[in-house]
Amino acid sequence: MGEVLALSLNPALDLSVALDTLTPGTVNRASESRMSAAGKGNNVARVLAALGHEVTVSGFLGRDNAGVFERAFADWGVIDEFVRVPGDTRINIKLAEQSGRVSDINAAGASISAEAWQQLEQRFDKQLARSPAAVVIAGSLPPGVVPEQLGRLIVLVRERGIPVWLDTSGEALIAGLKACPTAAKPNEHELAEWVGTALNGEAEQLAAARQLVESGIDDLFLSLGERGVCWCYRTPDGQTMMLRARPPQVRVVNTVGAGDTLLAGLLHARLSQWSGEAGLRFATALSADAVRRIGVGRSDGDDFATLCEQVRLEAVS
C-alpha cells in the first residue's frame, strides 16, 4: 500500500472528558479524562497507520510539549516530519456527556512565523518529491497562516499529479476548495460555510455537494453525523452521481474524530483499489465503530463484519 503524507497545520492535544451531564457554571465531576495527541491530520494518520499504511505526519508542533506527540507517533508507527515552533501545541477540550452530546472547546493554536512557514514549504517539497500515494491536509489553520497559503499547498500537490484530500472549515475550506483538491470531506455545517448561507434540508445540501463536484473536485464526501454520509462523484463519462450510506445504530460514547476515521477509511479503500461502494460501506462502519468509545479507528469489538453488513447503501437520484 502506498505511502501517505498527512498534514496537520494546527494539531492539538485533545483533553477528552467524560461526564454524566454538563452543567455550566457549576463544578462538574468527570467519570473519565484522557489527554491524547490529535488534530484532524494526526487522527487520519493514526487510523491509516493502523490499517497498514506507511504514513508521514507533518505540520507545526510546539517545541515545549512535543514529547507527548513524539511518543504517540512512535507508538502509531508514523514518521515524524513536523516543523518545531516555539511554545506549546494547543490543548482542545472535548466534553462528552452520557447522552452522546459533545461540546468542543478548540484553542486558536500558536502563531506561525514566516520563517517557520518557509521551513514547512521546504520540507513539503521534499516530501512530494518522494511521490506519496496521497496527501491529506486536515484541520484548521493556526494564527499567522492565511487561507491562500493552504490553497498554494494544494496546488503544489496537484501539479505533481498526486491526489490531495482536504478536510477543513471556514475561510480555509473556501480557499482550499478553490484550489480544487482531489477529494474533500465537509460536514453539513462546513458545507453551509462554503455556500455562505444556511442549507435547509438535505436537498439543498446535496445540491451544494453536486455543485462542488461539477466545479472539478473528483470526490465529495458530505458527512452527516448519525445520518451517515453522501458520496458525490463524477463518472468517467462526466456524469455526476451520488451514493448515500446510512450507518447502523450504535451506542454513542464519543463522536470526536468520527469524521477523521471516515476520511481515513475512505482513503484506505481508494488506495487499496476497492470499489466505491465497498469503500463507502467500510468507512461508514469504521466511523460508526469509532463513536462507540473515546478515540479514532477500529474498536476492540469483534462485530465489525456485522457493522459493515448493517450499513445501508442507496443511490440518490
Ligand X SMILES: O=P(O)(O)OC[C@@]1(O)O[C@H](CO)[C@@H](O)[C@@H]1O
Q: Is 2 helix (H, G, I), strand (E, B) or coil?
A: coil
Our CB check for ligand X shows the closer of 138 and 213 to be 138
- From 198-206, 225-233, 257-265, 306-314, span contacting ligand X (CB under 6 A): 257-265
- Report in angstroms how near the CB of residue 168 gets to ligand ATP at its nearest: 10
Catalytic residue (choose from 260, 289, 302, 303) = 260
Number of residues that bind ligand X (CB under 6 A): 17
Q: Is 293 helix (H, G, I), strand (E, B) or coil?
A: coil
Q: Which of 4, 5, 16, 43 binds ligand X (CB under 6 A)?
A: 43
Give the separation between CA 289 and CA 285, rounded to whole angstroms.
6
- Report in angstroms how near the CB of residue 36 gets to ligand ATP at its nearest: 14
Residue 131 has a CB neighbour count (10 Å cut-off) of: 11
Q: Is 231 helix (H, G, I), strand (E, B) or coil?
A: strand
Is the Cα dihedral 5, 186, 65, 63 positive or negative?
Answer: positive
Give the separation between CA 39 and CA 126, rounded to whole angstroms.
23
Q: Quick one: what does residue 228 bind among ligand X, ligand ATP, none, with the CB cut-off 5 to 8 Å set by partner type?
A: ligand ATP
Q: Is 306 helix (H, G, I), strand (E, B) or coil?
A: helix
Our CB check for ligand X shows the closer of 92 and 284 to be 92
Our CB check for ligand ATP shows the closer of 147 and 186 to be 186
Pinpoint the alpha helices (H) of the chain.
40-50, 66-76, 114-129, 147-159, 170-178, 188-195, 201-214, 258-271, 276-290, 304-310
Binding pattern for the stretch 116-155 against ligand X, x by CB under 6 A and - elsewhere: -----------------------xx---------------
Q: Quick one: what does residue 225 bind among ligand ATP, ligand X, none, with the CB cut-off 5 to 8 Å set by partner type?
A: ligand ATP
* Whether residue 260 lies in the annotated active site: yes
Our CB check for ligand X shows the closer of 60 and 233 to be 60
Q: Quick one: what does residue 127 bind among ligand ATP, ligand X, none, with the CB cut-off 5 to 8 Å set by partner type?
A: none
User: Is 260 a residue that touches ligand X (CB under 6 A)?
Assistant: yes
* Bridge partner list, 80: 57
Is the Cα dihedral 154, 181, 264, 138 positive or negative?
Answer: positive
Kindly give the interhelix angle for 188-195 and 170-178, rounded to the nearest 10 degrees: 70
- Report in angstroms how near the CB of residue 87 gets to ligand ATP at its nearest: 25
Distances (CA, A) of 140 to 29, 214, 257, 313: 30, 25, 14, 31
Q: Phi and psi of 228, rounded to 5°?
A: 95, -140
Closest CA to 170 of 147, 138, 150: 147
Q: Quick one: what does residue 75 bind among ligand X, ligand ATP, none, with the CB cut-off 5 to 8 Å set by partner type?
A: none
Q: Which of 6, 38, 55, 175 binds ligand X (CB under 6 A)?
A: 38
Ranked by CB distance to ligand ATP, the top (closest) residue is 259
- Report in angstroms how near the CB of residue 315 gets to ligand X at its nearest: 29
Contact residues for ligand ATP, defined by CB under 6 A: 187, 223-226, 228-229, 247, 250, 252, 255-260, 262, 284, 287-288, 291
Give the separation between CA 31 and CA 17, rounded to whole angstroms.
8
Catalytically active residues, by annotation? 260
